[in-house]
Structure 1
């Protein structure tokens, strides 16, 4: 593990995923954390965090971003004390607005909500994040839109406390406090890597994460395929049932 992203969701995590990938790092974002090491996280939630388990889960991974690693960054840092830590941040007003828009987008997408109900992988995703939420303590409603809408100041305090803790715990030489608007230079200087001859990426604009994941993420593409298979099976079953009912009444 070379880089632990400790910035909370909606501080540029998708952009950082793209930037670190461009720099040659093998990155696990929240869907990869679910798909490849989700069982390991569930085990740690139930049995307690162990350095040995964390090392095993991420032994061949260079960087992590987003849930649950951003919340449990300190447990990861204990397992990988030589890793560099990047604390992405942004102004609170735009962060809260982006967070709320994101959750409205996720919860308002009918197909995504349906996928979490009738597809194998979608159901696993829903179960995994429900379990994760239960182990966030006071952050248990972190994925709930109503929490954002009704408790803005409470969420702001959570963000401030989280960022203060990162700054207090991580040695200064291993910590970068970073805004993605700063581009390549401070990031590459901190990681001691060359600046790419490409524009700095900007992902998840206007909470477009679902569109981007459907285009780029294999796990989300799998869920979408399963959804269409499930819908086709349900449609076929419904047609067959109606056909049978029709013949019962006309015969």
Structure 2
């Protein structure tokens, strides 16, 4: 998160399904995939928070149809296929929770799950939840066309995680259940677990690519990126509130003078 939203490229299709949960190095992983696959990567966190309003709205539709059950599966697949056209990979949530659907849509894509110590992951997720669950967030984001839906979007994500991992709010057990779920649904020859701290070699080996020459493995600090994104949207929201209230004030003064 916190980067610029990626732009789809013509004649590009999903080659890698990033099955790692948020806070497992997904931003660094995405940057690495952009280099190896030579195409744009759909990092869900970045696209929904830094992309156009349509990004978050479409994922809300996808989640709503998924939560309705198997009868809406065709709609889920259709919306997802349209949204991911022109990208070489998808990473982060909710993509990581749609692995069965993504494997159906992209049958030749490799499934790579970024991993992290479960306890440190749990602590990191609690930190993120603490920032997004502050009482004033919904009000601050209200003037922003896409981000005004962020809290509702988060609630849909929570409902999906609860359905998959049977834990609310998600904690350490959700992490271990996610890994077990992947081992159950993804063929062993198609599933790779990858720790971004290990750098290029294991990732390149999994994808059959050469290690990039004179190119250090990208290291993106997810915590700093999330903080930057949060501050960016809070500033935007407060600015629009200030402008809106100022216009209301001017209008009231004008009406008083008129009457």
Distance 2:166 2:188 in 1: 31
CA contact (8 A) 1:188 1:194 kept: yes
RMSD: 3.5
Report the equivalent of 1:231. Answer: 242
The runs of 5 or more residues in structure 2 that have no matched partner are 1-13
1:48 pairs with 2:63: no
CA spacing shift, 1:52–1:237, aligned 2, 3 Å: closer
Report the equivalent of 1:127. Answer: 152
Report the equivalent of 1:179. Answer: 195
CA contact (8 A) 1:27 1:63 kept: yes
Could you tell me how far 1:91 is from its partner in structure 2? Answer: 1.0
CA spacing shift, 1:212–1:187, aligned 2, 3 Å: farther
Q: Kindly report which structure 2 residues correspond to 1:22-61, keeping only aligned pairs within 5 A, or say none.
A: 22-23=35-36, 24-30=38-44, 31-32=46-47, 35-36=54-55, 37-38=58-59, 41-42=62-63, 44-45=65-66, 46=68, 48-50=72-74, 52-53=77-78, 54-61=80-87
Distance 1:178 1:95 in 2: 15
CA spacing shift, 1:224–1:25, aligned 2, 3 Å: farther
Distance 1:35 1:192 in 2: 35
* Cα deviation 1:91-112 (Å, max 9, x = unaligned): 11211111112222344596x6
Could you tell me how far 1:195 is from its partner in structure 2? Answer: 2.3
CA contact (8 A) 2:42 2:84 kept: no
TM-score, normalization by structure 2 = 0.73
CA contact (8 A) 2:63 2:160 kept: no
* Cα deviation 1:112-171 (Å, max 9, x = unaligned): 6544223222213333333343344446998x8xx36xxxxxx22221121012123322
Distance 2:200 2:228 in 1: 22
Could you tell me which of 179, 188, 202 is aligned with 2:204? 188
Distance 1:188 1:212 in 2: 30
CA spacing shift, 1:201–1:190, aligned 2, 3 Å: same
Report the equivalent of 1:151. Answer: none
CA contact (8 A) 2:121 2:172 kept: no
Name the SS of the counterpart of 2:95 in structure 1. coil
| Total equivalences in the alignment | 232
Report the equivalent of 2:178. Answer: 162
Could you tell me how far 1:2 is from its partner in structure 2? Answer: 0.6
Could you tell me which of 8, 18, 21 is aligned with 1:5? 18
Q: Kindly report which structure 2 residues correspond to 1:217-228, keeping only aligned pairs within 5 A, or say none.
A: 225=236, 228=239
